[in-house]
């Protein structure tokens, strides 16, 4: 098991995962697909973790798929779906070699998953995302950026990629890549980029006491 996957396996074993879907993701998906026959819309939750977004997709009637490199994450996701009497195809797999056919998905969501890799692997993963998306299929990604306040707690070991976080949001992660706008344009060069939004929460009182620290790009790109 690769080192970065081992870190997340430990997190899931300790119960460190989200229980509820990411609100912005919910809004984007429902805006894109609310009026269509959802059972015909194939959506992949790339890096399902504890299944919070997989649960949302399955409950809303989409043809849902989920993949994670950590076996415990997939186990937790399957258990939750079973408890809710929901259906989704959940597997353990490698993002660099996605076990799906070409031109398969209408949508792939990446809620803070691809960033947990070194740059060389990130480029390989985006190539795989492109391959398994249908023509006109859309990638929705949430990628931490270089304005993130917790970047200072890590040690940079390659350009924009950090490890050994002493505290902060990434203290339980092994690797975190913080994207620049140019890097996003680079890895999505084969896509048609529809939107890059910066989502940032700034504390206006005492930053050290802030309950939530965030700076990410929200990316939407079509094949």
Domain at 55, CATH number = 3.40.50.150
For residue 87, what are the contacts with CB-CB under 8 A and spacing of at least 6?
58, 64, 81
Q: For 101-120, what is each residue's pLDDT tens digit?
A: 999 999 999 999 999 999 99
pLDDT (tens digit, 9 = 90+) per residue, 64-87? Answer: 999 999 999 999 999 999 999 999
pLDDT attached to residue 206: 73
DSSP secondary structure string for all residues of 4-63: HHHHHHHHHHTT-S-SS--HHHHHHHHHHHTTS-GGG-EEEEES-TTSHHHHHHHHTT-E
- What contacts 118, CB < 8 A, 6 or more positions away? 158, 161, 175, 177
DSSP, collapsed to helix, strand or coil, labels residue 160 as coil
Quote the pTM value. Answer: 0.95
Full residue range of the structural domain in which residue 178 is found: 3-222
How many domains does the chain contain in total? 1
DSSP state of 80: H
């Amino acid at each position: 098991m690769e080192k970065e996957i081992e870190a997340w396996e430990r997190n899931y074993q300790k119960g460190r995962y989200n229980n509820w879907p990411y609100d912005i993701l919910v809004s984007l998906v429902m805006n894109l697909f609310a009026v269509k026959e959802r059972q015909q819309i194939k959506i992949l939750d790339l890096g399902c973790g504890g299944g919070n977004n997989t649960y949302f997709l399955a409950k809303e009637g989409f043809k849902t798929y989920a993949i994670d490199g950590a076996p415990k994450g997939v186990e937790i996701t399957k258990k939750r779906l079973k408890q809710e009497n929901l259906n989704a195809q959940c597997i353990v797999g490698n993002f660099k070699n996605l076990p799906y056919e070409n031109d398969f998905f209408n949508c792939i969501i990446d809620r803070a998953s691809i960033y947990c890799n070194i740059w060389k692997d990130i480029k390989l993963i985006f190539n795989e995302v492109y391959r398994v998306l249908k023509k006109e299929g859309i990638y929705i990604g949430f990628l931490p950026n270089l304005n993130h306040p917790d970047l200072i707690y890590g040690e940079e070991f390659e350009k924009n990629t950090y490890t050994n976080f002493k505290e902060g949001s990434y203290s339980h992660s092994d690797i975190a890549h913080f994207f620049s706008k140019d890097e996003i344009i680079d890895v999505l060069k084969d896509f048609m980029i529809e939107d890059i939004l910066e989502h940032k929460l700034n504390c206006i009182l005492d930053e050290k006491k802030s309950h939530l620290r965030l700076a990410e790009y929200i990316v939407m790109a079509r094949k």
